[in-house]
Amino acid sequence: MSEFTYKEYLPLNARIIIDYNQKKGEKVKFSYPKEMEYKKAVWKSGYPTINGFWLVLNIQFFMYVLVPFFIIRWISDYYHIFGLQTATGLIIDTHLIAIGIVEIFTVPIIVTFYLSRNKEKLSTWIPKMGYLSGKLLGFLKEMDFTPKDITNENKAIIPIFSNVTLKWFPDGDFNKYLEKIEILELPFHYKIRFFWWLKKWKALQNDYLFRAVFHFSQKPENGSMKVEFI
């Protein structure tokens, strides 16, 4: 979110309250459903985001760069357009595949270790990587709130989302009357059984599904609010 900067280590799955009317103290408050030591949190929550982002970039590179390259090379090799020998082509392919496998697994580890040494950099880049990954994969969703979408309690609600990213762009009365934004995990527990023949169920608290509530001082009569979220 552009409205504030996280000051803690991982802006993942956090409960967030943004109060635009608060005159003194912090206008943003957030906490975590589960507390864990910094090092464990980095590798349990931060690394998957970095790894996923790097994998998405590699997929994009493969689709738009390597696939055309291989097609051109195979065609040229088959018809001997450029006089390439099959053995030479196989060596090139083998080296490219080997390099690709190595960098896919090693680069995220190096980047995670580098960012973990600076909490400010970590808290800045983790949300950006999560946002870009979701956008490139088509997971980014949009909603356009109008005055008719506001409840009788002067609220605009996103009932469920993953709390990976949330951006809002209010104008008119939406910008004038917006007071507070709350992002809280949905309060429920669920049971999981790891193997179907085991009779014992394990109760788990939901830490990954959230809802966002936009509070207004009064119901907007004009304007709108575009919201992007994952």
pLDDT digits (tens, 9 = 90+) for 162-175: 888 899 999 999 99
pLDDT on residue 59: 84
**Is residue 179 scored above 90 in pLDDT?**
yes
Q: What is the pTM of this model?
A: 0.72
pLDDT digit string, tens, across residues 118-165: 988 888 898 889 889 988 988 999 999 999 999 999 999 999 998 888
pLDDT at 203: 84
Q: How confident is the model at residue 187 (pLDDT cuts 50, 70, 90)?
A: confident
CA R_g for the chain = 24
Q: Cα–Cα distance between 97 and 57 in angstroms, integer?
A: 16
Write the pLDDT tens digit of every residue in 33-54: 666 678 888 888 889 999 999 9
In this predicted structure, what is the pLDDT of residue 107? 93
Give the C-alpha separation, 73 to 81, whole Å.
9
d(CA 221, CA 147): 6
Q: Where are the domains of the chain?
A: 15-34+141-229, 38-136
Percent of the chain with pLDDT over 90: 37
| pLDDT in the model for residue 10 | 55
Does residue 156 contact residue 218 with C-beta atoms inside 8 Å? no
pLDDT of residue 80: 58
Note the pLDDT of residue 147: 96
Tokens of 138: 């088509």
Q: Residue 175, Cα to own-chain centre: how many angstroms?
A: 25
pLDDT, position 141: 94
Q: What does the mean pLDDT of the chain come to?
A: 81
Amino acid at 230: I
Which range is most confident: 89-98, 172-181, 198-207?
172-181
- What is the predicted pLDDT for the residue at 166? 92
